Structure 1
Amino acid sequence: MTNQQQLHLDTQAPAHRYRYCRRCGRPLKAQDSRLRGYGEHCDPTQHPKPAPARNIDQDHIPGT
């Protein structure tokens, strides 16, 4: 086995790289965006969704 073959076997494959944003579908250009799978403006860790509205049954206020 040659040295090049041995080096190739020892290296691990890089992490999966996305070509398009998983949220909006735009092409990803930055290396860190490709590794995350989200563009700068779509990354859920940077821009979390607002909490859902909660409708809770409450007692009426007396005198209203």
Structure 2
Amino acid sequence: MAHTDRNPQPTLIDNPGTGYRHRYCRRCGRPLTVLSSRLNGYGPACDPNRHPAPTPPNEVDQDTLPGT
């Protein structure tokens, strides 16, 4: 059985042999249709460069209040 239709979605580039192009978002799994999204592997809503993770809270040890 020959697998000639392994990539039914077009690559959206001139030369498909230049490298791997993501077809689905790495975070949510939705199909990617825009070339820039296919190059970095994330959709616009899931891109970690556009929506960075929140910074962890900065907790500092404090002295106890006098009289408690």
TM-score by length of 2: 0.64
User: Counterpart of 1:21?
Assistant: 25
Equivalent position to 2:56, from 30, 52, 57: 52
Q: CA RMSD in A?
A: 2.0
Equivalent position to 2:43, from 18, 39, 44: 39
Range 31-40 or range 45-54, more displaced: 45-54
Gaps of 5+ in 2: 1-14
* Cα distance in 2, alignment partners of residues 42 and 25 from structure 1: 10
> Percent of aligned pairs with the same residue?
57
Structure 1 or 2, whichever has the larger Rg, is 1
TM-score by length of 1: 0.67
For 1:14-42, what per-residue CA distance to the aligned partner results, in whole angstroms no more than 9, with x for missing partners? 23200100011111011110011000011
Number of residue-to-residue matches in the alignment: 53
Deviating 4+ runs (over 2 angstroms): 53-57, 61-64
1:18·1:35 contact (CA, 8 Å) conserved in 2?
yes
